[in-house]
């Protein structure tokens, strides 16, 4: 079994965790302060996190590299499939924020579906609830499942939020923070070059530039307005921040750093520098609570300035029962745009999965995030002999499938609209 982000915490006294939150192109947005809802764990911090989720980061493009949190779930077995929810009793309102009544057996659930095609058509108008997925229905193509799973990773951009959280995020207070060696640089001059960036920032220490969207095929392509600087030493990041001007008026206690730089055609352009504090990658609300991977969700499309404590606060307000939140990071311990949240009860977990898309509104930014079941390595839960890389998040199924069993079960007309999830292969293969 692959290392999982919750690995080392399960079955052991929880250790200190790092915060989470990847940084994207909208990072220049700011947000307001929240009230503290719980204390941060002060013991040893897990410096890395790893995503075993179906969604790709919408930010840096680096896969996470945590072997500590990764071990959290590795020692646990997949729990039996969750009870099914009958389609006939599921209203739009209950699907938004709650979970309908459950049938105890798979057969009973399927019988309810077969006997209520009218309610199914109301629950899933048309063949697909996901835009453009009907175009991928080609049974002859054995890889169509993978394509549909990849489409799901961008589902947040194509679907409306089912519920909204609005408010102030928890304030941040740091004492001697330790930073990632990687920083986000937003609002860079349009004509800046990689050599220009290195010449400007090498005064703080040796560094390299990560330029999203720039590859060997287009070496002269202009930046998207932001880049990442990767220093060899954390001391270089501290030196850079000391050379920046600061906006200390942020109500959430988060300092905003700005640095003036020049390019060939722009002089004294102010760019925003966004560092990442390692302690923001993990947050434990209940240190004595064991973390259960079967009650863990993956959260994708996170805003770049949302840390683990803030994510836990949002999920707790909406669904309750949050015991842990973690931000997935890359090999530089910098956020990649996704995270995980663990609940202490099945009801809260199912409410979060059912919600699927949540809009987070603060005074500084608005972001729609995507919630899916947290995926592990598992055998097919139908044949119990083959590997089960495909997961059906619809609560009529809600289990892992091998390719053959997926096609067999979803050949039924009432189940053909179900769409698969897969673990993010990029993150799965990273070390």
In tens, the pLDDT along 22-72 reads 344 444 343 333 333 333 333 333 334 444 433 333 333 333 334 444 444
- Comparing CA positions, the residue from 279, 349, 347, 283 lying closest to residue 312 is 283
User: What is the per-residue pLDDT for 387?
Assistant: 95
User: What is the per-residue pLDDT for 235?
Assistant: 97
How does pLDDT run across 93-148, given as a tens digit for each residue? 443 343 333 334 444 444 444 444 334 333 333 334 444 444 344 444 656 899 99
* Three-class DSSP labels, the chain: CCCCCCCCCCCCCCCEECECCCCCCCCCCCCCCCCCCCCCCCCCEECCCCCCCCCCCCCCCCCECCCCHHHHCCCCCCCCCCCECCHHHCCHHHHHHCCCCCECCHHHHHHHHHCCHHHHHHHCCCCCCCCCHHHHCCCCCCCHHHHHHHHHCCHHHCCCCCEEEECCCCCCCCCCCCECCEEEEECCCCCCCHHHHHHHHHHHCCEEEECCCCCCCCCCCCCCCEEEEEECCHHHHHHHHHHCEEECCCCCCCCEEEEEECCCCCCCEEEEEECCEHHHEEEECCCCCCCCHHHEEEEECCCCCCCHHHHHHHHHHHHCCEEEEEEEEECCCCEEEEEEEEECCHHHHHHHHHHCEEEEECCCCEEEEEEEECCCCCECCCCCCCECCEEECCCCCCEEECHHHHHHHCCCHHHCCCCEECCCHHHHHCC
Show the CA angle centred on residue 278, arms to residues 272 and 279, nearest 5°: 115
pLDDT of residue 385 exceeding 50, the answer is yes
Written as six digits, the tokens of 24 are 């994207």
State the residue for tokens 């399927």.
110
User: What is the per-residue pLDDT for 341?
Assistant: 98
User: What is the per-residue pLDDT for 153?
Assistant: 85
User: What is the per-residue pLDDT for 265?
Assistant: 86
How does pLDDT run across 161-204, given as a tens digit for each residue? 999 999 988 888 888 999 999 999 999 998 899 999 999 999 99
């Amino acid at each position: 079994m692959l290392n999982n982000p919750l690995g080392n915490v399960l079955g052991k006294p929880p250790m200190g965790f790092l915060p989470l939150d990847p940084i994207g192109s909208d990072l220049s947005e700011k947000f307001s302060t929240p009230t503290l809802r719980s204390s941060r764990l002060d013991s040893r911090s897990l410096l890395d996190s790893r995503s075993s989720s179906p969604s790709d980061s919408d930010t840096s493009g680096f896969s996470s590299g945590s072997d500590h949190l990764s071990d959290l779930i590795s020692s646990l077995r997949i729990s039996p499939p969750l009870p099914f929810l009958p389609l006939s009793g599921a209203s739009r309102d209950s699907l938004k924020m709650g979970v309908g009544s459950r049938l105890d057996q798979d057969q009973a659930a399927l019988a309810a579906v077969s006997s209520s095609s009218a309610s199914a058509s109301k629950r899933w108008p048309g063949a697909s609830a996901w835009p453009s997925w009907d175009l991928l229905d080609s049974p002859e193509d054995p890889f169509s499942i993978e394509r549909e799973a990849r489409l799901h990773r961008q589902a947040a951009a194509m679907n409306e939020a089912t519920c909204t959280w609005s408010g102030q995020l928890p304030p941040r207070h740091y004492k001697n923070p330790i930073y990632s060696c990687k920083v986000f640089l937003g609002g860079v001059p349009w004509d800046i070059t990689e050599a220009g960036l290195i010449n400007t920032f090498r005064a703080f220490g040796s560094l390299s530039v990560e330029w999203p969207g720039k590859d060997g095929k287009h070496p002269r392509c202009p930046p998207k307005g932001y880049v990442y600087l990767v220093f060899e030493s954390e001391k270089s990041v501290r030196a850079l921040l000391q050379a920046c001007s600061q906006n200390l008026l942020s109500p959430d206690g988060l300092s905003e750093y700005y640095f003036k730089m020049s390019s060939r055609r722009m002089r004294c352009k102010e760019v925003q520098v966004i560092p990442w504090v390692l302690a923001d990658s993990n947050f434990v609300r209940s240190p004595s609570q064991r973390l259960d991977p079967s009650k863990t969700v993956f959260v994708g499309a996170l805003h770049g300035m949302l840390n683990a404590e803030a994510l836990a606060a949002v999920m707790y307000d909406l669904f309750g029962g949050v015991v842990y939140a973690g931000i997935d990071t890359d090999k530089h311990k910098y956020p990649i745009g996704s995270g995980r949240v663990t609940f202490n009860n099945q009801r809260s977990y199912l409410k979060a999965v059912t919600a699927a898309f949540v809009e987070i509104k603060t005074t500084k930014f608005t972001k729609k995030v995507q919630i899916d079941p947290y995926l592990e390595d598992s055998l097919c839960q139908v044949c119990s002999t083959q590997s089960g890389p495909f997961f059906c998040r619809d609560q009529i199924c809600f289990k892992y499938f091998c390719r053959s069993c997926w096609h067999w079960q979803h050949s039924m007309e009432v189940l053909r609209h179900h769409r698969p999830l897969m673990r993010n292969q990029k993150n799965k293969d990273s070390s």
